[in-house]
């Protein structure tokens, strides 16, 4: 069985949505801190464009990463777990086979 074939119970769907949204909020909070620091260090016109380039790249990666299709959630949660945006406690309540696969994916992304 592929992780894309997993069935998600209504309870798991609620848990996964909350975990997904919290991870996104965690990543955005970190990004805001980074931006505040970068903005405070702008001293030239080139720094403005460097900030633009940084934001463009970060946005591309975030949009690509946060894919809330159930067929992709195991992979997405693995990435978010490895990056530290998704605490393991936030996926408690998911089926054990899903949690184990998420952890395995997280190890691969480190």
Q: What does pTM read for this prediction?
A: 0.91
Give the pLDDT confidence score for residue 109 in this predicted structure. Answer: 83
User: What does the alpha-carbon distance between residue 79 and residue 67 come to, in Å, rounded to a whole number?
Assistant: 11
Question: Which residues lie closer than 8 Å to 62 by C-beta, 6 or more apart?
Answer: 27, 31
The three-class DSSP label of residue 94 is strand
Confidence tier at 2 by pLDDT (50, 70, 90): low
Confidence tier at 5 by pLDDT (50, 70, 90): confident
Domain boundaries, the chain: 3-109
């Amino acid at each position: 069985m592929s992780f894309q074939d997993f069935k998600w119970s209504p309870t798991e769907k609620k848990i996964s949505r909350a975990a997904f949204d919290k991870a996104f909020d965690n990543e955005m909070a970190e990004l805001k801190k980074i931006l505040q620091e970068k903005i405070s260090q702008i001293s030239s016109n080139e720094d403005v464009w460097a900030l633009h380039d940084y934001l463009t790249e970060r946005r591309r990666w975030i949009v690509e990463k946060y894919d809330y299709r159930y067929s992709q959630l195991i992979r997405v949660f693995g990435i978010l777990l490895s990056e530290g945006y998704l605490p393991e406690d936030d996926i408690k309540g998911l089926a054990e086979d899903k949690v184990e696969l998420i952890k395995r994916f997280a190890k691969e992304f480190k």
